[in-house]
Chain A
Amino acid sequence: MATLRTIRLRIKGTKNIKQITRAMEAVSAVKMRKSQQAALAARPYATAALRLLKNIHGSSVEGGVLSPLLEKREVKNTLLVVVTSDKGLAGPFNANVLKKAEQFIKNTAVEPKKVISIAAVGKKAGEYFSRRGRTPANSWTGHGDFVELGEVEHVFDFVRKSFEQKKVDEVFVVYTNFLSAMKQEVVVRKLLPFSEEGLEEMVKGIAPDKGRFAEVNVQDVVDVVNVGEYLFEPSPKEIFDTLLPTLLKIEIYHAILEANASEHSSRMIAMRNATDNAGELIKSYTVSLNKARQSAINKELAEITGGSEALTQ
Chain B
Amino acid sequence: MTNTLQLKIVSLKEVVYSGSVHSVTLPTKAGEITVLPNHAPLISHLGKGNIRAKLEGENKQFPIDGGFMEVTADSNLTVLLS
Contact = CB atoms under 8 A, between A and B. Distances in A.
A55 B12 contact: no
A229 B71 CA distance: 11
A44 B43 CA distance: 18
Interface in B18-34: 28-30, 33
Contact of B41 (A45, A49, A229, A253): A229
A63 interface: no
Interface string B36-68: 000011111100000000000000000000001
A51 B8 CA distance: 14
A229 B41 CA distance: 7
Interface in A222-253: 224, 227-234, 238-239, 242-243, 246, 250, 253
B8 A227 contact: no
Interface residues of B, number: 25
Contact of B45 (A51, A228, A230, A238): A238
A221 to B, nearest CB: 11
B41 A227 contact: yes
A49 B80 contact: yes
Contacts, number: 74
Interface residues of A, number: 28
A56 interface: yes
Contact of B73 (A51, A228, A232, A239): A228
A260 B15 CA distance: 21
A101 B70 CA distance: 36
Contacts of B82: 246
B78 interface: yes
A245 to B, nearest CB: 11
Nearest to A37: B13
A48 B78 CA distance: 8
A52 interface: yes
Interface in A41-68: 41-42, 44-45, 48-49, 51-52, 55-56
Given A42-B13, A233-B30, A234-B29, 5 more contacts: A231-B41, A234-B44, A238-B45, A243-B45, A250-B12
Interface of B: 8, 10-15, 28-30, 33, 40-45, 68, 70, 72-74, 78, 80, 82
